[in-house]
Amino acid sequence: MAIAQFPVTVLDCPDPRVLAEFYGAMLDWGVQVDEDGGWAEVRADHGHSFCFQRVDDYAAPDWPGQERPQQFHLDVNVADLDEGEKAVLELGATKHEHQPGTTFRVFLDPAGHPFCLCVS
């Protein structure tokens, strides 16, 4: 029997609302933000979720360098890389200058976390 259930991924960031709105729009998931703005969540209709917590003096990962390692990143599938790129850039992502592959593209979310758009 499992000790726990329903793990949730939580990303540190300077502004949880900004990241929740970014990922909510990208994934078409609902957004909830606590009254004080220190915690936000995006949730799919089927139950998956990501959460975001405010961290004072937040420092974005330095990818691909390791001075401030990424420690993890998100891969999300898209049907078309060019269309996916256009959409995430409009939402506020930044395309990273280092692109190590051809079947995926690396971006930074508004708080600087790396994520990849991958061909599904």
3-class secondary structure, 54: strand
Domain of 74, in residue numbers? 59-120
Is the same domain home to 15 and 69? no
Q: Is 114 helix (H, G, I), strand (E, B) or coil?
A: strand
Are 34 and 76 in a shared domain?
no
Amino acid identity for residue 73 in this structure: H
Residue 1's pLDDT band, with cuts at 50, 70 and 90, is confident
The tens digit of pLDDT for each residue in 49-79 reads: 999 999 999 999 998 988 988 888 889 999 9
Mean pLDDT taken over the chain: 92
Q: Tell whether the model's pLDDT for residue 5 goes beyond 90.
A: no
Residue 8 has pLDDT above 90, yes or no: no
Q: What is the CA radius of gyration of the chain?
A: 15
112 and 93 in a single domain? The answer is yes
**Same domain, yes or no: 112 and 65:** yes
Residues 50 and 75 in one domain: no
Q: What total number of domains does the chain contain?
A: 2
Residues 41 and 63 in one domain: no
Do residues 37 and 69 both lie within one domain?
no
Question: Are residues 93 and 51 part of one domain?
Answer: no
Residue 3: which pLDDT band, with cuts at 50, 70 and 90? low
Clarify whether residues 47 and 64 are in a common domain: no
The model's pTM is 0.85
